[in-house]
Structure 1
Amino acid sequence: MTSPPRHVPVAIVGGGQAGLSVSYHLKERGIDHLVFEKETAAHTWATQRWDTFCLVTPNWQCDLPGHRYDGPDPDGFMKKDEIVAYLKAFVAKVKPPIREGVAVTRVERREDGLFAVQTSEGDYTAQAVVVASGGYHTPIIPRMAEKLPSTVTQIHSNQYRTPTQLPEGEVLVVGSGQSGAQIAEDLHLAGRRVHLAVGDAPRCARFYRGRDVVTWLADMGYYSMTVDDHPLRDGVRDNTNHYVTGRDGGRDIDLRRFATEGMALYGALEDYEAGSLRFRDTLKRSLDQADRTYNSINAAIDKHIAENGIEAPAQAHYTPVWEPEEPVTHLTLDGSGITGIVWCIGFTPDFRWLDASVFNGAGRPKHKRGVTAEDGVYFIGLPWLNTWGSGRFGAVGRDAEYIVQVIQTRLGAERIALKYAV
């Protein structure tokens, strides 16, 4: 005989920092819930980051609920092992009611208004479902990868750990967002000959006029700006993050300087045909645009300093240290020395398990600060859910508190309605 599904008022799908933050605030309000995590709590940071990975934002921005960074280096950048330790300490504080190793396979609305939550360990019902699984689910690897010879080792950025896992020879890194730029630097510093297919990611300075740029932007109110206040509105959610690094105390990533040191730069990779890699003639445009963003951020800081009479050392704007000559649009694979490729072109979301009318045509959730038009369905931990820090340690806790307040109000209304119905 099949057991009836177990009921829980709130089901949280995902046990990373976002789901754990929701659990923290639910526990604070005495609201029963369960966290479902198909792996282990906060596992991504330990299992899907390279060995030299570190934060690109200062440690002082790490402000999970009841767990603000209080270590000895607030202006530094935690390394991978330190991040994992920080999160393990957060798990120990929250003590979430979590079902590790349990995957949620389907969520759908029942006729009685509850959600049917199917999992790998059995069925549940819930009044509210919080999707805390992030938006980086399926690694993007283009179809051209299927045409490359088997002699070339191919991995995605989420599989990259160390230069030594790739065979001897030269390496092509495809994509210059945060992961691509930092992985290219990691390989470059290890003495590997790197070929980098440069995309349209912007860049920013690490330090400018005596302070970390993040600190200046915080003072300027950038991190408190909501998506509704941003000039791009919802469009900002599609923006690529600026590349910069916290490695070795923090520094710029300047692809032009890498070129002067032997890294080969190309435009966006377009295809592989007849033994040849084909690149678009976009390298100069991409580098110039990244530098314009870099200098425009610094100019905004200059304006803030001037308007507020702040004493800060003068600093010139960036001028290019290298310019591409004739564009290289074709590269013969056999003659290139390339034996490995790291695909750093992102991920696509996969919410197929959630049967709810809360998605746009691209399969991305539609919401207002994580609250969807379908009563009882919420999202947390997505980039620009509400502010720049929504997908990071800095603001996910505030987003979680807001969502839990909405949940508490709605659950309370349901109890009142049930009382009068009886």
Structure 2
Amino acid sequence: MTSEPRHVPVAVVGGGQAGLSVSYHLKQRGIDHLVFEKRSAAHSWETQRWDTFCLVTPNWQCDLPGHPYDGPEPDGFMRKDEIVAYLKAFVTKVNPPIREGVAVTRVARRDDGLFSVETSEGDYTADEIVVASGGYHTPIIPRMAERLPGSITQIHSNQYRNPAQLPAGEVLVVGSGQSGAQIAEDLHLAGRPVHLAVGDAPRCARFYRGRDVVTWLADMGYYEMTVDDHPLRDGVRDNTNHYVTGRDGGRDIDLRRFASEGMRLYGVLEDYRDGSLHFRDGLKRSLDQADRTYNGINAAIDKYIAENGIDAPAQAHYTPVWEPGEPVTRLALAETGITSVVWCIGFTPDFRWLDASVFNGAGSPKHRRGVTSEEGVYFIGLPWLNTWGSGRFGAVGRDAEYVVQVIQKRLSAERFVLKRAV
């Protein structure tokens, strides 16, 4: 005889900082729930980051609910082991009702209005579903990778740990977003010959006019700007993050300087065929555009300083330290010493387990501040869910509180209707 599925008012799918933040606010309101985590809390931070990984935002921005950063370096940048410790302390503080090692395989609306929640340990039902699994699920590796010689070691950025992991020889890093730029730097500092296929990621300064740029932007209210107020509106969610680093106390990442020190830069990698890597003729444009963004942010800070009469040391805007020569659009692989490739071109979301009419044509959820058009379905922890910090430690707690407030109102209304019906 098959037993009835266990019912929980709220099912939270994902046990990272987003799901834990939701659990914190649900517990504060006495709302029964379960958090389903297919691996373990803090798993991705512990197992999918390289050894020298650190935050690119200062520690003072880490403000999970009831768990602000309280360490000795508020203006520093937590390293990988410190981030994991910070999150594990949050898990202990929240003490969530979490089912670790349990994967949610399907969620769908039943005829009675409840959600069916199928998991690797059995079936549940729920009134509300909070998707807190993030948007970085499937590593992007292009089909051209299949045509590279078998002698070439290929890994994705989430598999990279350190330079010694790769075979002796030169390394091709594909992509210059945050991960690609930092991994290229990690290899470069270790003395490995690096080839970098540069994309269109912007960059920003680490420090400008005596302060961290993040601190200036916080004072300027940038991190309080909502997606509805942003000039790009929903389009800002597709933006690539600026590359910068918190390594060794924080510094700029300047690809031009790397090139002047021997790193080989190319445009976007478009294909591998006939034994050659083929690159787009766009390196100069990409570098120039990244510098325009860099100087544009600094100019906005200059304006803020002037308008508010702030005493801050003057600083010149960036001028290029290296210029590319004749563009290289074709590189015979056999004529290089490249023995490994690190793909740093991102991830795609995978919400196939959620059977709900809440997605656009690209498979991304449609929502307003995490609340979708389908009653009872919510998202949390996505980039620019509401503000710049929505996918980070800084604002995910506020987003979670908002979603939980909506959930509480819905559950209270449902109970009122049921009470009257009785």
The TM-score, its normalising length taken from structure 2, stands at 1.00
Q: What's 2:197 paired with?
A: 197
Q: Summarize the alignment of residues 50-69 of structure 1 with structure 2, pairs less than 5 Å apart.
A: 50-69=50-69
Distance, in Å, in 2 between the alignment partners of 1:335 and 1:419 is 77
1:292 shift after superposition: 0.1
Alpha-carbon distance in 2 for matches of 1:247, 1:165:
20
Which secondary structure does the structure 2 equivalent of 1:293 belong to? helix
Partner Cα separation in structure 2 for residue 376 and residue 64 of structure 1: 24
For the residue of structure 2 that corresponds to 1:248, the secondary structure is: helix
Distance in 2 (CA, whole Å) between partners of 1:10 and 1:348 is 26
1:161-201 deviation digits (Å, cap 9, x = unpaired): 01111100000000000000000000000000000000000
Dislocated runs of 4+, deviation >4 Å: none
Deviation at 1:283, TM superposition (A): 0.2
Q: Given residue 333 of structure 2, which amino acid in structure 1 is its aligned partner?
A: L
How do residues 70-219 of structure 1 correspond to structure 2 at under 5 angstroms? 70-219=70-219
**What is the match of residue 278 of structure 2?**
278
Q: Gaps spanning 5+ residues in structure 2: where?
A: none
- For the residues of structure 2 that align with 1:224 and 1:136, how far apart are their CA atoms? 24
CA distance in 1 between counterparts of 2:156 and 2:44 reads: 15
SS in 1 for 2:123: strand
Quote the offset at 1:2 in angstroms: 1.2
The CA distance in 1 between the partners of 2:64 and 2:172, in whole Å, is: 37
Q: Which amino acid aligns with 2:48?
A: Q
1:295 paired to 2:295: yes
Residue 313 of structure 1: aligned partner: 313
CA shift, 1:42, in A, is: 1.6
Q: CA deviation at 1:53?
A: 0.0
Which AA in structure 1 matches 2:290? Answer: A
Distance (Å, rounded) in 2 between the aligned partners of 1:406 and 1:42 = 26
**1:341 aligned onto 2:346:** no
The sequence identity of aligned pairs, in percent, is: 87
Q: What amino acid sits opposite 1:174 in the alignment?
A: V
For residues 412 and 373 of structure 1, the distance between their equivalents in structure 2, rounded to whole angstroms, comes to 19
Secondary structure in structure 1 of the residue aligned to 2:384: coil
Equivalent in the alignment of 2:374: 374
Residue 231 of structure 1 corresponds to which residue in structure 2?
Answer: 231
Aligned partners of 1:331 and 1:312: how far apart in 2?
47
Distance 1:382 1:269 in 2: 28
- 1:24 maps to a residue whose letter is Y
Q: Tell me the alpha carbon deviations over residues 325-363 of structure 1, each in whole angstroms, 9 at most, x when there is no partner.
A: 000001111111000000000000000000000000000
In the alignment, which residue of structure 2 is the partner of 1:44?
A: 44
State the 1:51 CA deviation. Answer: 0.2
* Structure 1: stretches of 5+ with no match in the other structure: none
Q: What is the DSSP-based 3-state SS (H/G/I as helix, E as strand, rest coil) of the residue aligned with 2:57?
A: coil
| Residue 258 (structure 1) shift | 0.1
2-side partners of 1:421 and 1:373: how far apart? 26
User: How far does residue 421 in structure 1 lie from its aligned partner after superposition?
Assistant: 1.4
Question: Alignment length, in residue pairs?
Answer: 422
The structural deviation recorded for 1:210 is 0.1
| Inter-partner Cα distance in structure 2 for 1:232 and 1:87 | 32
- 1:21 partner amino acid: S
Provide the rounded CA distance (Å) in 2 between the counterparts of 1:36 and 1:14: 6
CA distance in 1, matches of 2:408, 2:162: 45
CA–CA distance in 2 between the matches of 1:3 and 1:168? 57
Q: Distance in 1 between matches of 2:222 and 2:113?
A: 40
**C-alpha distance in structure 2 between counterparts of 1:313 and 1:159, whole Å:** 42
The CA distance in 2 between the partners of 1:97 and 1:374, in whole Å, is 25
- 1:417 & 1:152 partners in 2: Cα distance? 63
Alignment partners' CA distance in 2, 1:293 and 1:270: 24
Letter of the 1:209 counterpart: R
Deviation at 1:47, TM superposition (A): 0.5
3-state SS of 1:195 partner: strand
Alpha-carbon distance in 1 for matches of 2:326, 2:421: 76
SS of 1:161's equivalent? coil
TM-score between the two structures when normalised by the length of structure 1: 1.00
> CA separation in 2, counterparts of 1:152 and 1:340?
5
Instruction: Output the CA distance in 2 between the equivalents of 1:411 and 1:111.
Output: 18
Q: 1:3 and 1:160 mapped to 2: Cα distance?
A: 45
Residue 312 of structure 1: SS of its match in structure 2?
coil
The residue identity in structure 1 corresponding to 2:69 is Y
Q: Distance in 1 between matches of 2:331 and 2:285?
A: 20
Question: 2: distance between equivalents of 1:151 and 1:222?
Answer: 47
Structure 1: distance between partners of 2:352 and 2:49 = 25
- Which digits, 9 at most, give the CA deviation of each residue in 1:188-240, with x for residues without a partner? 00000000000000000000000000000000000000000000000000000
Letter in 2 for 1:93: K
Q: Equivalents in 1 of 2:131, 2:43: separation in Å?
A: 17
CA distance in 1, matches of 2:2, 2:195: 58
**1:247 maps to amino acid:** R
Cα distance in 1, alignment partners of residues 421 and 320 from structure 2: 71
The answer on 1:32 being equivalent to 2:21 is: no
Supply the AA of the counterpart residue of 2:318.
Y
In structure 1, what residue type is equivalent to 2:284?
K
CA distance in 2, matches of 1:287, 1:221: 28
Offset at residue 420 of structure 1 (A): 1.1
Q: CA deviation at 1:3?
A: 1.3
